[in-house]
Chains A and B, each alone.
Chain A
Amino acid sequence: MTTVEKTGNRRLSAEELEAFGAEMDAIRQRIVADLGEKDSAYIYDIVKKQRAFELAGRALFYLPVIGWVPAVACLSISKILDNMEIGHNVMHGQYDWMGDPDLNSRMFEWDNVCPSDQWKYSHNYIHHTFTNVLGKDRDIGYGILRMDEDQKWHPYFLGNPVYAFLLMVFFEWGVAMHDLEVENIVAGKRKMSDNAELHRGLMKKVKRQALKDYVLFPLLTGPLAPLTFLGNGVANLVRNIWAFNIIFCGHFPAGVASFSQEECEDETQGHWYYRQLLGSANITGGRIFHLMSGNLSHQIEHHLFPDLPARRYPEIAEEVREICERYDLAYNAGPLHQQLWGVFKKICKYALPDRKRSAADDVETAPALQGVAA
């Protein structure tokens, strides 16, 4: 396990945790009280831009030869905005306070093969509640990768880099399959019949997405249909690669801690914040980069305050940084290439069996692959 100590961090005392939690609560309350016109205008503006990119993308496919690349670019941007800054954040309930059913976490559906209700369960509940708790957080390795030394090695994991590459290319499908908990079926902890309902919902969504991107829109462009078909596929691929990279930089770069279930039993709110902070990593970059990452470049702030509008994360980040300094806790942030390199090294390192294990590391925790279906 990448314990807190291994990441060079210290444990906080119960009193410190409580004070730390109170400071985080204070940030939340201040932001909640300040939510208003600017936040709603922002998200409406992003939605407008996303729709404009989408329409432009669909339309540019009618322009033979010179239109194709711009069309794919526009559609890729549309899908990235839809899935990340809009979809992911709206489905976190970040804009529920606005009272607009179109931006309500319970109503929103995204341009992605994963049905929103299934994603919300595995993401909002399982991943955000049990972040980086081994055996609980199924986002550690997504059930197919080995991303922590406490996941027991098996020759299967020699393919770690290959699986990661495939997961990147087919990311939306990976996200959609995630909820079926295939690894738990293999491990005999889950029955196929448990998936009947999920499977039905999934197939419905898959059909709709495929009908739109791979049948109707191509057909509408007549003789250009094959090019449109290809272009839509590429736009989905671009979104997959981008989303995978941003998301893997959220919890797997060097210096991110994982936690055992024992550590998190009867957890206080303060420890929960502490775990979110040390279990996440930020990516530094410019304004457009943050927008295109759905502000998941502020993964730390997102994990501390998953239900606050993401446009607030940059301002929150300054305070969180300052608090971290005072508590002598690391604030894991770095440019995209640095964080990606850390992720890549981890994927390769854990493909191989561990070279040495000290006794202290042999604490019995269930690896994610044999995870508990909560």
Chain B
Amino acid sequence: MALDLGGRILRSRTVAALASPHGIDRYLTEINPMLAAHEVRARITDIHPEVSAPGAPRVATVTLQPTSTWRGHRAGQHVTVGIDTGEGRRTTRVFTVSNTEGKPGEPLTITVRAHDDEHATPYSISKFLTERATVGTLVHLSQAEGDFVLPDRVPEHIVLISGGSGITPVMSMLRSLQRRTHRGKVSFLHWAPSADRQIFADELEEIRHQGHGVDLHILHTADGAPYLSPALLEKLVPGYQDLPTWACGPASLIEAAQAAYDGTESLRVEYFKPPKTAGVAGGEMEFARTGKTVANDGATILDQAEAAGLSPESGCRMGICFSCTTNKSSGRVRNVLTGETSELPDEQIRICVSTPEGDCSVDL
């Protein structure tokens, strides 16, 4: 209770006025990074390897103890994670929360697969988390976000479909259902390349043994298992089109699921953006906010936006004033001043000195 009172004082308008313009968290963090009134930070308390097969990217489940400001999460939600990955740089990426739904201030876990293809300096956040992070590492978090969640009252029979690391939100749902002692039936279909790359292998095996209303199908495509199709779904889950379904995975799986469900409202999906192949020229320049897409002509994004009839905010047009800084959600860009390329998702770029290399999407 005392703590709560402290929190209420720290979040009061008086304290906000006193700490203006920086905000009270800027002072608290100097005392202890785990003290916060608004922001969420966490410390790593455990790193558990999930997959460490030779040749396969490492996968690890990272347990985080958040500050008291964490408002908890629902199964299936994701969180933005920022970590100082070295060389004074903070990298930010979105991960699904993989543990059972949790209350405010409770620990959470994220399950991370090391990606080689991210051009982050010096480490991609997923590589950092799976290979270099240690217990005690400080992490910056958002609140849990996303509406790919189970309803409070779960229907009698539901279908969960996942592919690859898309298993994390679905696993969080399954674990939450088990804790809620859901008495209905769950049909769980998961696609993965092969058994030795299977995340949560032991836990899935245990679920299969226990039964408890979970009808589990793990399909390893490298071993010849069929891909998602209406016929396969009908065979494994008869009448699937009428059953509330949650599907998460790569775009190909989601597209197959959408085709199989044929527009019925029972399907809820979440998918990751596929890693786009970046070429030096060509590709599509997408202006996400206005919904315009043009063929990438190799000019700066600012020039291309203006040619497309947009009038983004800009100033010096030479990279010094930062007026045109815009969020780039995906794609590789080259800084024309330094020649450096970068393909981090959700990155702030100066569009007057950035040219896209291949497909690119910005918030304009």
Contact = CB atoms under 8 A, between A and B. Distances in A.
B201 interface: no
Contacts of B232: none
Nearest to A100: B90
B338 A51 contact: no
A37 B321 CA distance: 24
A209 B20 CA distance: 7
A99 B325 contact: no
Interface in A89-137: 92-93, 96-100, 102, 104-106, 109-111, 120-121, 124-125, 128-129
B21 A125 contact: no
A98 B322 contact: no
Contacts, number: 102
Nearest to A104: B348
Interface stretch (B181-189, B275-283, B287-295, B311-319): B311-319
Nearest to B340: A32
A124 B322 contact: yes
Nearest to B29: A102
Contact of B17 (A38, A93, A97, A216): A216
Interface string A311-333: 00000000000000000000000
Contacts of B20: 208-209, 211-212
B21 to A, nearest CB: 4
B17 A211 contact: yes
Interface in B1-59: 14, 17-18, 20-22, 26-27, 30
Nearest to B121: A36
Interface string A46-58: 0110011001000
B224 interface: no
B321 A99 contact: no
A51 B30 contact: yes
Main secondary structure of the interface of B (DSSP, over half): loop
Contacts of A111: 21-22
A39 B88 contact: yes
B348 A212 contact: no
The size bracket of the interface on B is 20 to 34
B111 interface: no
Given A110-B21, A269-B318, A99 B87 contact: no
B89 interface: yes
A307 B322 contact: yes
A291 interface: no
B322 A105 contact: yes
Nearest to A91: B322
A193 interface: no
Given A121-B315, A124-B321, A98 B348 contact: no
Q: Could you say which of B21, B89, B92, B325 has the most chain A C-beta atoms within 10 Å of its C-beta?
A: B21
Nearest to A93: B322
B17 A51 contact: no
Contact of A120 (B89, B322, B340): B322
Interface string A198-238: 00000001001101100011001000000000000000000
Interface string A1-44: 00000000000000000000000010011001101111111000
B198 to A, nearest CB: 33
B90 A98 contact: yes
A212 B17 contact: yes
Interface in A129-150: 129
B230 to A, nearest CB: 45
Contacts of B322: 92-93, 96, 105-106, 120, 124, 307
A98 B91 CA distance: 8
Given A51-B26, A212-B17, A217-B18, A99 B319 contact: no
A139 to B, nearest CB: 14
Contacts of B231: none
A232 to B, nearest CB: 12
Interface in B321-362: 321-323, 325, 337-340, 348
Contacts of B348: 96, 104, 106
Interface string A257-280: 000000000000100100000000
Nearest to A94: B322
B321 A29 contact: no
Contacts of B92: 99
Nearest to B85: A99
Contacts of B21: 109-111, 205, 208-209
A129 B320 contact: yes
8 contacts: A32-B340, A35-B88, A40-B88, A51-B26, A93-B322, A120-B322, A217-B18, A307-B322
Given A28-B337, A41-B88, A106-B322, 19 more contacts: A35-B87, A37-B87, A51-B26, A51-B27, A51-B30, A99-B90, A99-B91, A104-B348, A109-B22, A111-B21, A121-B315, A124-B322, A125-B315, A129-B315, A129-B318, A212-B17, A212-B20, A216-B14, A217-B18
Interface of B: 14, 17-18, 20-22, 26-27, 30, 82, 86-92, 315-316, 318-323, 325, 337-340, 348
